[in-house]
Amino acid sequence: MTDSTNARREDVQKALERAVAEYGTPGVVAEIQDENGAWFGSAGVADLGTGRRREPGEQFNVGSAAKAFTAAAMLTLEAEGRLSLADTVEEWLPGVVRGNGNDGRQITIGQLLTHTSGLGITGLSAEIARKYHTRPGFAAHRYDVWTVEQLLKLQMAIPPLYAPGADFAYSNGGYHLVGAIIEKATGRSYEDEVDRTVVQPLGLTGTYARPFAEQRVRGPHARIYTRQFFKDGIDPDSLTPDNYESLLEGPDSDPVDVTDRTTWGWAAGGAVSTTSDMLRFTNAMITGSLLPPAQHRTMWSTVPTRDWMPNTRYGTGVSQWTLANGRTLHIVAGLELGTASFTMGTPDARRLVSMNINCDWNWYPVCNQVAEAAFGSPFLPPQ
């Protein structure tokens, strides 16, 4: 092992320790795969109550990184001749995308996958805010079991932001529509199709798409914590991308253990995985070892983002982030209530890092520090 490799791994370990000491992260893990093999590091705890340490092999909800699993499943169906990304939503879900200016006759599957459908942002939904981002709401609704129909209704209650194809708007509901189309095209559940098209071919032993009714992660896992609650008296109907963060409780608020609960993420954010599995999955997405060449090119045919992460481009479930030194990383990442998952790699996949924190605050500076330690540069800051 080279001195530079040892130094890099030492720098990553220091970044993990700073995540706990400086940013109040309960616990963080990172796993590296490069030309010198694998390395695992951790800092902090998996459980604030017991002080149990974080360990290799822990499962966690990957948040929006699940969109990459959904996209890979959909692209596999296209390769099998089941459908085309040029198909409209109306062809597969007749009459579903209607109302409030939404029109499934004008939206293609490909636009859903790249967030260019024009659909509104369900993350700003007043219903979601009341149920999951107020302390009383979460206590009352943490075990609610959603249905696909309810998720699609949630999306249709929001007017579109743009005409289809006109611009980028990050839409969880667009991926819920993709999940519904996968079920319609195959006659199988979304969860089973992710298993058939992604999990089994790649041999991902700690990964699965989480069903709506499951209240707990199946394998060993850390406890997860959130502070993502709005201040008392905030009207959820007033939320916008610009004021969202300013309306949240401050950093001195007490975190809530949100480990055991159901999730509404589904095809937009319901997968569970491990750092090792995320390395294997992201390697396959970058190198094209899972998808045929045409679908692999589609996955990384990116569009510029808007009102999302700065200096990024989005493909189908995956993204590219620019570093301050001008280089680009390929990213599969997601934030979910109580946890953040971030896997990043060089364009040739020769160096990959997968990390997870068991909270949902300060995730960006923590990931930024690890990126700088592992790849020699932080992310390009907002202009």
Q: What residue ranges do the domains of the chain occupy?
A: 3-375
Query: Measured between alpha carbons, how far is 236 from 308 in angstroms, rounded to an integer?
Result: 20
Instruction: Note the Cα 63 to chain centre separation in Å.
Output: 4
Token representation of residue 82: 């089941």
| Cα–Cα distance, 75 to 69 (Å, whole number) | 10
Strand-pair category, 271-273 with 208-209: antiparallel
User: What Rg value do the Cα atoms of the chain yield, rounded?
Assistant: 20
> Is the Cα dihedral 289, 290, 294, 295 positive or negative?
negative
Query: CA–CA separation, 61 vs 209, rounded Å?
Result: 9
Phi and psi at residue 34, to the nearest 5° = -145, -165
Q: Which two tokens stand for residue 239?
A: 């939320």
CA distances from 221 to 75, 311, 368 (A): 30, 33, 24
- Look up the CATH number of domain 3-375: 3.40.710.10
Q: What is the pLDDT along the chain (383 residues), one digit of tens a residue?
A: 678 889 999 999 999 999 999 999 999 999 999 999 999 999 999 999 999 999 999 999 999 999 999 999 999 999 999 999 999 999 999 999 999 999 999 999 999 999 999 999 987 788 999 999 999 999 999 999 999 999 999 999 999 999 999 999 999 999 999 999 999 999 999 999 999 999 999 999 999 999 999 999 999 999 999 999 999 988 888 888 788 889 999 888 999 999 999 999 999 999 999 999 999 999 999 999 999 999 999 999 999 999 899 999 999 999 999 999 999 999 999 999 999 999 999 999 999 999 999 999 999 999 999 999 999 999 998 86
Helix (H) or strand (E) holding 61: strand 60-61
